[in-house]
Amino acid sequence: MEWKFKLEKYLNVKILNYHQKKSFRNNVYLVEVINQDNLRLKYIVKKYEKPKAGNEAFIISSLRNRGLFVPQIIWNDNNIIIMEYIDGILLTDLLTDININHQDWVNYLARWLYQLHGIIRHADSNCLCKSDLNLRNFIFTVDKNFYGLDFEEVCYHPPERDLGGLCAFILNNDPMFTQWKFSICSLLVENYIELNVNMKDYQLDYQAIQYYLIEELKAAAERREKQRPYLLAKIEELGGETKNIQSAWLNKKDDGRELI
């Protein structure tokens, strides 16, 4: 494989083993190598189907230079990115681990989003947002930091777009629409608001968060044929004209599970 040759040549290492990671658009590998000092190291190699690696490498490096937690780019050309391996737990796995104190990580996720939004913020309230909010694109480390993964594209929207969209991913990830997940979403928004308190010229709009949440649920319903009736029913339940996002979440029947 071309990427194996390039990794060994340009990093001056020997590949010990590798395995392919789950990715919907490109080929991604976790690779273990040994260098000239006999040190074992791990890297993530991302092989693109189309020659767009340079664009993502530039975005990631720019974000990292602004202090955002993203992987370090080790080497790239226009087809391959070699980046540092981040050891941690994916957000999708955090939400299924019953032994984790969920209150412990939600604030760090809110902080990561707030820092991303602050890198570019326009007067019309639009800011730099993360195009792909899939839960597998966030990883929580033992140092209690969230890292963002996958920046093939970025977009510009109000911050409510990322908050609502991420809450939609949290809610419709199995187990779906449980009370403790509504609580996590509420806590995420509350923590973001606390960080945003000094932005006196801009206040978060709960109705806008609800709008983007529902739009992302509609997109999920479009993708998932078997779950479509259930998701459409939940969209109707959450989108009633007399409801706002706070009452829609807080009025859910408790399923008995706590955040901790």
**Domains of the chain, with CATH numbers?**
2-84 (3.30.200.20), 89-250 (1.10.510.10)
Per-residue pLDDT, averaged over 34-42, amounts to 97
Mean model confidence pLDDT for the chain:
90
Per-residue pLDDT, averaged over 51-57, amounts to 94
Has residue 107 got a pLDDT over 60? yes
In this prediction, residue 260 has a pLDDT band, given cuts at 50, 70 and 90, of very low
Has residue 246 got a pLDDT over 90? no
Distance CA 180, CA 259 (A): 6
CA 157 to chain centre: 16
Per-residue pLDDT, averaged over 192-209, amounts to 83
In this prediction, residue 254 has a pLDDT band, given cuts at 50, 70 and 90, of very low
Instruction: Report the C-alpha dihedral over residues 6, 11, 12, 14, rounded to 10 degrees.
Output: -70
- DSSP secondary structure code for residue 175 in this structure: S
Distance CA 120, CA 106 (A): 23
- For residues 148 and 138, the answer to whether their CB atoms sit within 8 Å is yes
Residue for token pair 């994916």: 90
Strands 40-47 and 80-84, how do they pair?
Answer: antiparallel
In this prediction, residue 241 has a pLDDT band, given cuts at 50, 70 and 90, of very low
- Each residue's pLDDT tens digit, 141-167: 999 999 999 999 899 999 999 999 999
Strand (E) or helix (H) holding 91: helix 91-94
Strands 73-76 and 40-47, how do they pair?
Answer: unpaired
- DSSP secondary structure code for residue 144 in this structure: S
Has residue 11 got a pLDDT over 80? yes
Phi, psi (deg, nearest 5) at residue 33: -130, 170
Distance CA 111, CA 198 (A): 14
Has residue 252 got a pLDDT over 80? no
What percentage of residues in the chain have a pLDDT greater than 70?
90
CA 224 to chain centre: 20
Look up residue 12 and give its two tokens: 């001056």
Has residue 116 got a pLDDT over 80? yes
In this prediction, residue 257 has a pLDDT band, given cuts at 50, 70 and 90, of very low
Residue for token pair 């509609």: 218
Return the half-sphere exposure (C-beta side, CA atoms, 13 A cut-off) of residue 164: 26
If one counts every other C-beta atom within 10 angstroms of the C-beta of residue 208, the result is: 18
- Each residue's pLDDT tens digit, 175-195: 999 999 999 999 999 999 999
Letter string b/e over residues 116-145, b meaning 16 or more CB atoms within 10 A of that residue's CB: bbbeeeeeebbbbbbebbbebbbbbeeeee
Has residue 56 got a pLDDT over 90? yes
Per-residue pLDDT, averaged over 98-117, amounts to 91
Letter string b/e over residues 31-65, b meaning 16 or more CB atoms within 10 A of that residue's CB: bebeeeeeeebebbbbbbeeebbeebbebbbebee
In this prediction, residue 200 has a pLDDT band, given cuts at 50, 70 and 90, of low
Distance CA 59, CA 72 (A): 11
Look up residue 81 and give its two tokens: 């990115």
pLDDT for res 240: 58
Has residue 69 got a pLDDT over 90? yes
Distance CA 140, CA 100 (A): 12
In this prediction, residue 239 has a pLDDT band, given cuts at 50, 70 and 90, of confident
